[in-house]
């Protein structure tokens, strides 16, 4: 049963129990009571204890009581004007409190709300899910609990983070396949070969050993952005002839998009960059976060609108991309 926490002390926080103790607790916030109940039922079935935190707007009215190791917020945009001011203010307060507490935050929204959520939640490093399935929500809670456990043991390096990202992609592929199996009326035939294909496409050993040091050497100018756009078009053309899952490389696709935008003097929103990544938005967001943390991308607040934030290449990344294109031994328009 969900518990009312409205009268608890301001931001009471309890650490996760270990395997020999009690299960982890998850506080759930969201405007829709039915959605909160469904999330609680799903998490309860996975062994988590849940607490109904109520609406996000209620976070402005009194003390925030956080009786959980993980906080889950459900805030999709239902209209055409984005999240309202009350919702954004509540999210901002929650973001600040979670950052101070050491809890883990998961925010579920949709593409219409992505830019607003990303802009307002800049302190707690939340896990942002975009139109997640029920399985993806449960997996996200398990993932952040695993990250919290790993952080208690040792500080994660870049190689560990990339390995975790690739493992997350694999788990998401499995969850997607299970969703298709459990919903035979979803409009697409499901077979064991689909499941195996998803598994292979996202296996942890599909890529390199992690992010090396980048930059350095003599600075070279970036190429004409029209040439970079041609490289992007060449990469996207593969989907006309092959299964796009064979070529998932979200970090590189985002790098190319930001390189072209840098030359064009254009600002790139989080939503636009997620689309450019060519993978599910939730997956793209995790890679984006990793690229920000490693100093390849940088978050740029919009001075004209505090509800927005853009993503740009860092100075080191501009230097590295200039060096990369200068090093190519084939015509730049042919490179992919």
pLDDT of amino acid 147:
67
pLDDT of amino acid 107:
94
- Report the C-alpha gap between 172 and 4 in whole angstroms: 32
Q: Which domains does the chain have, with CATH numbers?
A: 25-135 (3.40.50.2300), 218-336 (1.10.10.10)
Paired residues of 207 in beta bridges: none
pLDDT of amino acid 48:
82
Tokens of 152: 């208690």
pLDDT of amino acid 152:
44
Contacts with 265 (C-beta within 8 Å, 6 or more apart), sequence order? none
Residues of the chain with pLDDT under 70: 1-24, 61-68, 80, 147-219, 329-336
Contacts 24+ apart (CB under 8 A), 144-149: 144/70, 144/104, 144/106, 145/16, 145/24, 145/69, 145/70, 145/104, 147/104, 148/16, 148/69, 148/104, 149/16
pLDDT of amino acid 68:
67
- Report the C-alpha gap between 268 and 311 in whole angstroms: 6
pLDDT of amino acid 70:
87
pLDDT of amino acid 11:
36
Q: In Å, what is the CA distance from 278 to each residue of 18, 23, 179, 273, 284?
A: 38, 36, 21, 9, 8
């Amino acid at each position: 049963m969900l518990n009312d926490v409205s009268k608890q002390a301001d931001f009471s926080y309890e650490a996760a129990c270990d395997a020999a103790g009690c299960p982890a607790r998850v506080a759930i916030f969201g405007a829709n009571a039915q959605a909160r109940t469904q999330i609680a039922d799903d998490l309860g079935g996975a062994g988590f204890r849940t607490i109904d935190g109520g609406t996000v707007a209620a976070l402005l009215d009194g003390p925030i009581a956080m009786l959980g190791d993980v906080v889950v917020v459900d805030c999709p945009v239902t209209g055409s004007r984005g999240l309202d001011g009350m919702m954004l203010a509540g999210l901002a307060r929650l973001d600040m409190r979670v950052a101070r507490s050491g809890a883990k935050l998961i925010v579920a929204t949709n593409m219409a709300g992505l830019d607003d959520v990303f802009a307002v939640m800049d302190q707690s490093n939340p896990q942002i899910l975009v139109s997640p399935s029920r399985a993806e929500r449960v997996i996200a809670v398990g993932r952040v609990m695993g990250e919290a456990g790993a952080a208690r043991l040792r500080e994660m390096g870049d190689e560990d983070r990339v390995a975790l990202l690739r493992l997350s992609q694999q788990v998401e592929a499995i969850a997607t396949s299970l969703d298709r199996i459990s919903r035979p009326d979803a409009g697409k035939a499901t077979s064991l070969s689909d499941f195996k294909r998803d598994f292979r496409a996202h296996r942890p050993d599909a890529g390199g050993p992690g992010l090396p040091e980048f930059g350095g050497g003599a600075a070279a100018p970036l190429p004409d952005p029209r040439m970079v756009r041609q490289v992007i078009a060449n990469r996207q053309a593969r989907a006309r002839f092959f299964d796009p899952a064979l070529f998932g490389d979200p970090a590189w696709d985002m790098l190319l998009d930001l390189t072209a935008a840098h030359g064009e003097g254009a600002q790139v929103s989080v939503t636009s960059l997620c689309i450019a990544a060519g993978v599910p938005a939730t997956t793209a967001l995790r890679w984006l976060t990793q690229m920000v943390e490693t100093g390849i991308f940088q978050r740029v607040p919009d001075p004209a609108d505090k509800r927005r934030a853009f993503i740009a290449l860092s100075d080191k990344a501009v230097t590295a991309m200039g060096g990369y294109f200068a090093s190519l031994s084939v015509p730049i328009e042919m490179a992919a």
